[in-house]
Amino acid sequence: MAPAMIDPQIFDQLKSKLEEDSKVHKSLSEIIDQLETQIAYAQGLLSRIHGTPRPEYPALLQQIEVPIRKEIEQIGELSKLASNYPYYKYNYRWSRHTQDAILTVLLTAWIGGMATTTSPGELGRLLTLEQVGDIFQVPINVKDRDVFHLTTEEYLLAVTNLTDELSRLAVNAVTLGDRELAVRISSFVKDIHAGFQLLNLKNDTLRKRVDSVKYHVKKVEDVVYDLTLRNLIPSKESA
């Protein structure tokens, strides 16, 4: 009698692999759901900057610390779990959320938060990927081992979201009478745009999102144009 078509062992092996896979998906979902909640809360809180005059930022920054601390916790959990499995196998599950989490700390730092002993909080500060990694206490841009980390792409995508948010802030700052902030934003967004120009992008998500940065530049330039036309640019502004 010829051997059976399917060795029962094949089935058992595959079954346990698939079961493990769906277990991983479930545990990831739990953590990601909680992370998402914290991010949404932080983003909501952060969007108050559009209606908050600059002198009141410190109070806002204090409030934002709470959800950010929770984000850090959740990302730590995620890192612990995800590092047990091939990183890029499940990366797509959380990549969007880590991007958003990075955005919340980038924006908080830009408006003067996320101060550390080595780099004090000041307006207009862009955290580097290394600094973001330090904040979340996870590795960044790992190539030599297969563990959880924040990727270059996630950081760059978050930066495109930052310029988007700042282009909105430029308009609202002027409304609140803070014309100097609009000018600062303009020069920052232009610098970032120039930076993105240095990248050789392929036709992918990053490219699409980087393409949109030029519209952010345009938005803030329009604001600065309106101000210049009416002689409303603060005099101490220098190029």
Partner 1 sequence: MSGQKRDYNGVERKPHEGGQKRGGGQQKTVLVVRNEYTPMFERFRNELDQHHERREKIVKASRDITALSKKIIFALQRVRKIQQDLPNDIKKTMDGFLDQIAQLLATVAQETQGINRYRYDHQLSCMEELVEALTFAHYLKTQTLVSYDQLSADIEELARRGAASKSEQETKAQADANNDETPVPEPDQPPKHKAADAPVVSVTEQDYIYGIFDLTGEMMRFATTSTALTRSLAAADGDETSARPRTILQDMQELRSFIEMLPQKKGKSWSNKLGVLRQSVRKVELIGYGMVVRGGERAEGWVPDAEVDVDEEE
Q: How many residues does the chain have?
A: 239
Torsion angle in degrees (nearest 10) through CA of 154, 160, 164, 170: 120
Question: Least distance (Å) from partner 1 to the CB of residue 11?
Answer: 6
Of the pair 8, 55, the CB lying nearest partner 1 is at 8
Of the pair 39, 111, the CB lying nearest partner 1 is at 111
Tokens read off for 122? 């000041």
Q: Answer yes or no: are the C-beta atoms of 185 and 221 closer than 8 Å.
A: no
How far is residue 189's CA from residue 183's CA, in Å, rounded to a whole number?
10
The helix (run of H) or strand (run of E) holding residue 223 is helix 213-229
- The residues that touch partner 1, with contacts defined as CB under 8 A, are 1-7, 9-11, 13-15, 17-19, 21-22, 86-89, 91, 126, 128, 141-146, 152, 156, 191-202, 206
Question: Least distance (Å) from partner 1 to the CB of residue 147?
Answer: 8
Question: Least distance (Å) from partner 1 to the CB of residue 198?
Answer: 4
How far is residue 131's CA from residue 109's CA, in Å, rounded to a whole number?
11
Q: Which residues touch 41 (CB under 8 Å, ≥6 apart)?
A: 67
Of the pair 203, 235, the CB lying nearest partner 1 is at 203
Of the pair 202, 230, the CB lying nearest partner 1 is at 202
Question: Least distance (Å) from partner 1 to the CB of residue 44?
Answer: 28
Of the pair 5, 59, the CB lying nearest partner 1 is at 5
Tokens read off for 89? 């196998």
Question: Least distance (Å) from partner 1 to the CB of residue 231?
Answer: 26
